[in-house]
Amino acid sequence: MPAGNRISVRAKLARLGLRWLVKRRGHKQTLAESRRRFAAMERRIPAPPRSVTTTHINAGGVTGDWIVAPRSRPDRSVLYLHGGGYRVGSPATYRQFTWRIASATRARLLAIDYRLAPEHAFPAALEDAMAAYCWLRERGPGELIVVGDSAGGGLALGLMLKLRDMNAALPAAAVVLSPWTDLALTGATLRLNAEADAMLNAPDLPKFAADYLAGIDPRTPYASPLYGDTAGLPPTLIHVGSDEILRDDAVRMSDNMRQAGCRVELAIWPRMPHVWHLLAPLVPEANAAIAQIGRFVDKVLQSKQGAADVERNPASHVRSPGRVVQ
């Protein structure tokens, strides 16, 4: 991660481009216009490399893309939940990014096309995430990781709360990027970073939240995981940019998880825009962040495997009484 507030020239140019092309126009667009813009953008997004296979599948009643990169292992799977304020976006929007996550985590990846608001309000997206997660679980043994960005990051955390409350098997790890965790919109950085954020307009969020919530309490934990009891959730990596209006959503979520005894790592990247990871390979900080995700997943799974080995055969890890070999 870059030290201090120093960022690459490419990141500075990306911030300017996002401010002009996304932030400046975003608050003026209707939902229909936003969806047309996303559809037009998707047609221009390059396909993944030929070495990556993408199969359109039905995963427990939810359609999605099944992505296998050259480094993907058959004993690792990722459920990817895309962002878009619960109103726009699809696996196609992310096809130049999700294969990179599959490669970095060395996992097969399922990116689902969950139902969007306002046509399908809460809990439709959560139900679709649950169905896809269960489908992955039923495919057989192996480790499962949940990854999500922005609204998808909040959805990933809400999914884990739901799984925990159902006494269902939890994923081995989670990664959430610039997560939207508080649909009650109480974070101070919604105001403090309103001008600094290079991409998002704070006045847009009440409409996004209202479309998704459809009248339910915005502090409902499965919709706003910031208000949930996070005890027992798996190791989680949280990324957020220092200038984001959603920075407090990430920081407060990390604090809550840490206070509940969870293993959580929070990385605040200097001056990075919302979900800057999508700017790979143009911005070096995006590639560095994706590499950090891969290292986190490897570290968690290696730690889990080591603990399982000790539990199965504790004597093999002891050289002398009371001394465990690391």
Catalytic residue among 34, 77, 90, 150: 150
pLDDT in tens, 80-97: 999 999 999 999 999 999
120 labelled catalytic = no
Catalytic residue among 103, 239, 244, 285: 244
pLDDT of 4 reads 58
What is the Cβ-side half-sphere exposure of residue 95, based on CA atoms within 13 angstroms? Answer: 23
Average pLDDT of the chain to the nearest whole number = 93
Q: Give me the mean pLDDT over the 103-120 stretch.
A: 98
274 labelled catalytic = yes
Fold of 9-305: Rossmann fold (3.40.50)
> Domain-by-domain residue ranges, the chain?
9-305
pLDDT band for 304, please (50, 70, 90 cuts): confident
Print burial letters for 30-59: b (CB count within 10 Å at least 16), e (below 16).
ebeebbebbeeeeeeeeebeeebebeeeeb
pLDDT band for 306, please (50, 70, 90 cuts): confident
Strands 53-59 and 62-68: antiparallel
pLDDT band for 26, please (50, 70, 90 cuts): low
Catalytic residue among 82, 239, 274, 277: 274
| Element spanning 146, H or E | strand 143-149
150 labelled catalytic = yes
